[in-house]
A = this chain, B = another copy of it.
Amino acid sequence: MTVQQQINRQILLVKRPTGVPDESCFKLVTSAMSHPENGQVLLRTRFLSVDPYMRGRMNDRKSYVAPFQLNEVLNGGVVGEVVESNSNDFARGDFAVGNLGWQDYSVAGENEVRKINPEIAPVSTALGVLGMPGLTAYFGLLDIGKPKREETVVVSGAAGAVGTVVGQIARIHGCRVVGIAGSGRKTRYLTNELGFDAAINYRDAPNLGLALNEACPNGVDIYFDNVGGDISDAVLSSINNNARIPLCGQISLYNETQIPMGPRIQPQLLTHSALMQGFIVRNYAARFDEGIRQLAVWLNEKKLKYVESVVEGLENAPKAFIGLFAGENHGKQLVKVS
């Protein structure tokens, strides 16, 4: 570590957003560096991850994760390089991933981070296809969706970090895969590059129900839901008997300031003996190794491609986060910090 790196820039949450967050909710500050004590390492942030679920933590309301505290450093998935080690498990130059602050440098306990192997894939993938979003896709689709050959799988938020992986795993399992995304560039990417059988640009479809019927001539067996709202209403109208609906995200609703209303879905689930299951990836923590191993195999076999949108500079992390809600990202949205 050189002298000019002693300043640690940090991004704080300084205001809880109402509705869509804007940049006034965030503030860039500098602080003194910490150093690792026994069993700790100092990591230089290489990449940080912005994820839709973080929006929920910005409210002052207990959810499945505790809310962010005002005027404290935001935190999320970070890939860092070990620049100072007081741990026998890590050496200088190792890479590690963990839940750390939005800042240039973090001190972490050796058990709070996981070492990553830069030879398998670029280290940024530990925040994407070989990290939380990839595992979310893997467990949500396979454990809840239970895809069978020839079944039809619809995924919303299909061009996002989770959706791109869901669709590809479903293809690996012999399913017909239909993605829903928010631009022609995204839908073309899904069909041309990722092997989706069809993709619907919901911003462009005059009648989403009709477009779904065309794309899913045999109905919908699995709906992997990342978005909620009207899009999900349309997909639910097309489900088959015994449909499975892994509920992964509801990004269309995260910025609502009132309780969102919609058509009641229970009659549709009831008459189709359909299963809907909410989940968070942490439920599968005991099986993360299995998931990462399998995803790495598919990556290696070129059955799985990964997609990243990278914004440069810690100072641009708020902008990258806000962009998620406008659908600006293509695949996994990352911030390259150093």
Contacts and interface: CB of A to CB of B under 8 A. Distances in A.
Interface in A269-316: 269-280, 283
Contacts of A273: 64, 277-280, 283
For the complex formed by this chain, how many copies does it contain in all?
A: 2
Given A263-B259, A264-B228, A250 B276 contact: no
Contacts of A247: 266, 269-270
A262 interface: yes
Nearest to A236: B266
Interface in A54-88: 56, 63-64
Given A241-B64, A247-B270, A270-B247, A264 B275 contact: no
Nearest to A265: B265
Contacts of A266: 225, 228, 232, 247, 250, 253, 265, 276, 278
A249 interface: yes
Interface of A: 56, 63-64, 225, 228-229, 232, 241, 247-250, 253, 259-267, 269-280, 283
17 contacts: A56-B271, A63-B271, A64-B272, A64-B273, A229-B264, A247-B270, A250-B266, A260-B264, A261-B263, A261-B264, A266-B276, A269-B276, A270-B279, A271-B278, A273-B279, A275-B275, A276-B276
Q: Which 4 A-B pairs have the closest CB atoms?
A: A270-B278, A269-B278, A275-B277, A276-B276
